Amino acid sequence: MHAIEVRGLHKRYGDKVAVDDLSLSVELGEIYGILGRNGAGKTTTVEAVAGLRRPDRGEVRVLGLDPRRDRARLRQVLGVQLQESALHSALTVRELMRLHRSFYRDGADPGELIDRMGLTEQRGTRFENLSGGQQQRLNIALALLGKPKAVILDELTTGLDPEARRQMWATVEGMRDQGVTVVLVSHHMEEVERLCDRVALIDAGRLAAVDTPAGLVTRAGLEQVVRFRTATPFDAAILDGVEEARSVRTAGDRVVVTGSGNLLHAVSTALVRSDVAALDTSFERATLEDAFLALTGSPFDGSSDHGSER
């Protein structure tokens, strides 16, 4: 059984198709990233997964449950932290945590979670008086309160200071260690690259690609560059058999090799075989952000504008 299975999900708002026959599967225990430009349909998708939006058509299963038919059972196993959450703003951190704890048969200790999220000093502060980052931490704490088997985290670390962000990453990694399935919607490339086992790229409501972060970079087919010097004159013929290399040139005393695949390893191996010692080797490869831009459409093509009926 997949943790989450989405088949042919379709959602339109008026004339605007937000999610266009999207299918994806999330494995049990993986951290699954969802990346896409503003308005690509990420939030609509995860809201449908959480049972908070009714799709026009398509099927969703979360841990075998239908999010709309099995709402009560789903709430016991799925934690959800969304971009905008409607919390009672006059209640304090402690009150909100206790209230939400009462929704679950088997849940976490609110006090322990408040400490873990760095909200100990704010226990008695009303939600409306928390800073943006503190509200965000509380939202995450609320998502974890029911000891969920799967969690959806939409913009996990937006607004968090660097220390809190790193703590949040450690919390997510800890959840994976405990076998919790995590769906992470994020615009933070370092976060996605570091945490996610696989990433879905969503473009204008459709699935553009699913792969590991490194796999997406490879798929984008972007050039890699290896630069080095040699102590003795360099004979470019040494690299003739290296399939990964597309071009070899010299720039001053440097040799510059561009290519793709496992370029660094292939070049190093060829040099060692010919007994050539490379000095000052450097390696540049495309980042996940480069791959994201290469694999999704232009941001200004009019396909990802935001409507106002939200």
Asked if 103 is part of the footprint of ligand ATP (rule: CB under 6 A), the reply reads no
Asked if 213 is part of the footprint of ligand ATP (rule: CB under 6 A), the reply reads no
Nearest to ligand ATP of 42, 165 (CB atom)? 42
Asked if 55 is part of the footprint of ligand ATP (rule: CB under 6 A), the reply reads no
Taking the alpha carbons at both ends of the chain, their separation in whole angstroms is: 34
Asked if 39 is part of the footprint of ligand ATP (rule: CB under 6 A), the reply reads yes
Asked if 36 is part of the footprint of ligand ATP (rule: CB under 6 A), the reply reads yes
Residue carrying the six token digits 């304090």: 92
Residue carrying the six token digits 């974890």: 144
Size of the site for ligand ATP (CB under 6 A): 16
Asked if 296 is part of the footprint of ligand ATP (rule: CB under 6 A), the reply reads no
Kindly tell me which residue out of 15, 162, 231, 306 binds ligand ATP, with binding defined by CB under 6 A: 306
By the 8 A CB rule, do 246 and 192 touch? no
Give min distance, CB of 221 to ligand ATP, in A.
Answer: 25
Asked if 307 is part of the footprint of ligand ATP (rule: CB under 6 A), the reply reads yes
Give min distance, CB of 76 to ligand ATP, in A.
Answer: 26
- What size, in residues, is the chain? 310
Nearest to ligand ATP of 38, 269 (CB atom)? 38
Give min distance, CB of 13 to ligand ATP, in A.
Answer: 3
Give min distance, CB of 295 to ligand ATP, in A.
Answer: 15
Tokens of 102: 């009462």
Kindly tell me which residue out of 4, 24, 35, 40 binds ligand ATP, with binding defined by CB under 6 A: 40
Give min distance, CB of 299 to ligand ATP, in A.
Answer: 11
Asked if 44 is part of the footprint of ligand ATP (rule: CB under 6 A), the reply reads yes
Kindly tell me which residue out of 3, 4, 18, 138 binds ligand ATP, with binding defined by CB under 6 A: 18
Asked if 38 is part of the footprint of ligand ATP (rule: CB under 6 A), the reply reads yes
Asked if 188 is part of the footprint of ligand ATP (rule: CB under 6 A), the reply reads no
Nearest to ligand ATP of 210, 245 (CB atom)? 210
Q: Which residues bind ligand ATP (CB under 6 A)?
A: 13, 16, 18, 36, 38-44, 305-307, 309-310
